[in-house]
């Protein structure tokens, strides 16, 4: 038996104690005191009360067992917490499902309404409306927007569609859209918001996402999709699924929606798709540590794949030369893109064979 002697203070003895005036006393209070200056049964006067010191023998074994149990339980809870998968944080942008669709006015880029403000909610009338907000003009965002707006063109009698680009420089964006007109679907309105990168204040859009797709019916939002990394294959079915749930019909194939031209050159074995490798690097939500780790893995992959070096160098130069570097990732990610653009230059084309000198005419003169 593990034992130890303790001096214990207890047994408050009241002397003219007034409960109303002396509420600070605790009748059942007991505290340990290791002092050996006091002998057993010695009375100590404290204000209107008296304490008596008594010595008794206590066992530490139950106390040690309790501490051991608590430590084991705490370790198990910590282990379960570490093993529990982290819950993915939902990203919000714009009015959510069930909320009222605010008025939306933007400046038309093409067609008869070019340069004029268009009220999209009013133009949709009684039809459901699918609005695609493009926060960052990139090839993936243009590809997904093309597929979605093509759907609204094919189902023009059932749904109204529109594309709204967000920018801090309306004039520069107009010039870019004119150059990219062949990649856009102009069968539905293409507009630019004049409210800056944040877009219309009533919409509460998130400038850190690449696209925000809102579908509304009867003046209320049915679905909202805040997209960071647009993907035609992944995002098209889930967006159009909510639209078809409201207007009916069968899900079209991606080829029917004009997505075939964005599949890439899969027949060339030298062509490597570096976008899945690049995506973690240029993720705007990534921390500095995550960017460094993703860039390290990417460079390890590039070191083993000369074709990937050509691809990432060409892609990085296209982004920089197009003035779109600020749309890709954090500042550190943009530094890596600049680094790869210089580190992996365009491969030199093999020199053509020298022209053969003209051969003398072998035919004898007549």
pLDDT band at 277 (very low <50, low <70, confident <90, very high): confident
Residue 208, pLDDT above cutoff 60: yes
Task: Give CA–CA dist 105/117, Å, rounded.
Answer: 6
The predicted model scores a pTM of 0.53
Higher pLDDT, 25 or 72: 72
Q: What pLDDT does 285 receive? A: 83
**What are the angstrom distances between the C-alpha of 65 and each of 62, 71, 91, 158, 366?**
5, 10, 47, 72, 122
Cβ contacts of 49 within 8 Å, gap of 6 or more:
12, 13, 14, 15, 17, 25
Percent of the chain whose pLDDT exceeds 70: 70
Render 285-330 in DSSP notation, one character per residue. T--HHHHHHHHHHHHHHHHH-HHHHHHHHHHHHHHHHTT-GGGSS-
pLDDT band at 316 (very low <50, low <70, confident <90, very high): confident
Q: What pLDDT does 262 receive? A: 43
Backbone angles phi, psi at 342, to 5 degrees: -85, -35
Fold type of domain 105-262: Glutaredoxin (3.40.30)
Residue 223, pLDDT above cutoff 70: yes
Mean pLDDT on 299-325:
84
CA atoms within 13 A on the CB side of 222: 19
Residue 71, pLDDT above cutoff 90: no
Highest mean pLDDT among 105-109, 277-281, 346-350: 105-109
pLDDT band at 354 (very low <50, low <70, confident <90, very high): low
CB atoms within 10 A of CB 298: 20
């Amino acid at each position: 038996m593990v034992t130890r002697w303790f001096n214990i203070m207890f047994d408050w003895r009241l002397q003219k104690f007034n409960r109303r005036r002396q509420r600070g006393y605790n009748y059942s209070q007991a505290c340990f005191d290791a002092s050996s200056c006091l002998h057993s049964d010695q009375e100590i006067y404290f204000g209107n009360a008296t304490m008596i010191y008594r010595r008794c023998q206590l066992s530490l074994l139950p106390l040690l067992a309790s501490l051991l149990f608590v430590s084991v339980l705490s370790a198990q809870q910590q282990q379960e917490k570490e093993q529990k998968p982290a819950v993915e944080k939902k990203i919000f942008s714009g009015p959510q499902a069930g909320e009222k669709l605010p008025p939306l006015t933007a400046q038309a880029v093409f067609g008869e309404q070019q340069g004029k403000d268009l009220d999209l909610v009013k133009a949709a009338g009684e039809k459901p409306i699918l609005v695609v907000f493009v926060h960052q003009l990139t090839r993936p965002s243009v590809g997904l927007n093309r597929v979605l707006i093509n759907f609204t063109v094919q189902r023009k009698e059932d749904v109204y569609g529109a594309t709204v680009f967000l920018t801090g420089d309306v004039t520069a964006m107009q010039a870019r859209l004119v150059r990219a007109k062949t990649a856009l679907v102009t069968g539905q309105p293409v507009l630019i918001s004049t409210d800056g990168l944040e877009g219309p204040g009533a919409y509460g859009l998130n400038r850190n996402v690449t696209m925000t797709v809102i579908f509304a019916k009867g003046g209320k939002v049915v679905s909202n999709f805040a997209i960071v990394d647009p993907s035609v294959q992944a995002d098209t079915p889930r967006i159009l699924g909510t639209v078809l749930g409201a207007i009916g019909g069968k899900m079209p194939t991606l080829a029917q929606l004009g997505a075939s031209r964005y599949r890439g050159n899969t027949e060339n074995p030298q062509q490597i798709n570096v976008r899945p490798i690049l995506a973690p690097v240029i993720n705007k939500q990534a921390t500095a540590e995550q960017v460094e780790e993703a860039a390290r893995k990417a460079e390890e992959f590039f070191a083993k794949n000369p074709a990937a070096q050509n691809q990432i160098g060409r892609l990085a130069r296209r982004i920089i030369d197009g003035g779109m570097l600020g749309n890709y990732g954090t500042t550190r990610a943009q530094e890596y893109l600049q680094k790869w653009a210089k580190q992996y230059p365009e491969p030199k084309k093999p020199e053509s064979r020298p022209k053969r000198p003209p051969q003398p005419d072998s035919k004898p003169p007549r």
